[in-house]
Amino acid sequence: MFLSHASEDKDEIARPLREALEDRGLTVWFDELKIKVGHSIRQEIEKGIEGARFGVVILSPSFFAKQWTQAELDALFTKKIDSGRSVILPIWHRVTKDEVASQSPLLAGLLALNSATMTLSEIADAIAEAVAEDGQ
């Protein structure tokens, strides 16, 4: 799975979530592990999205403010439309439904996990369950 996040959210939620998902046996594409010095950031991200069955998207104020994360989201929506599958697994982090809806009404229509009401362990369990139900 591809883990899309703003760099500002890396320490607080993205890195610990990656570790929790890997502890549950899931393979996670994570930028700081996959993009090496001298590599094309864009090409590595595109390979990560292309090879992923799911995109876990950590939606936050920082996420919505960045062009990179918006480009990742565009690619994941294209993958969703082309495959006809629910590939985007959103997590609301420091945002409300209204804030998500003002940035992306399509995202607001997806059932999301919420870091304000769930522990990191509960979020990782819910993602692992969604992946397992999809046959992974």
CB 3 within 8 A of CB 29: yes
**19 Cβ partners below 8 Å, 6+ apart?**
none
> How many CA atoms does the CB half-sphere of 135 hold within 13 Å?
4
72 has catalytic annotation: yes
Active-site position among 8, 19, 46, 72: 72
DSSP for residue 29: B
25: left (phi over 0), alpha (psi -120 to 50) or beta: left
Q: Which amino acid is at 131?
A: V
Residues that are catalytic: 72
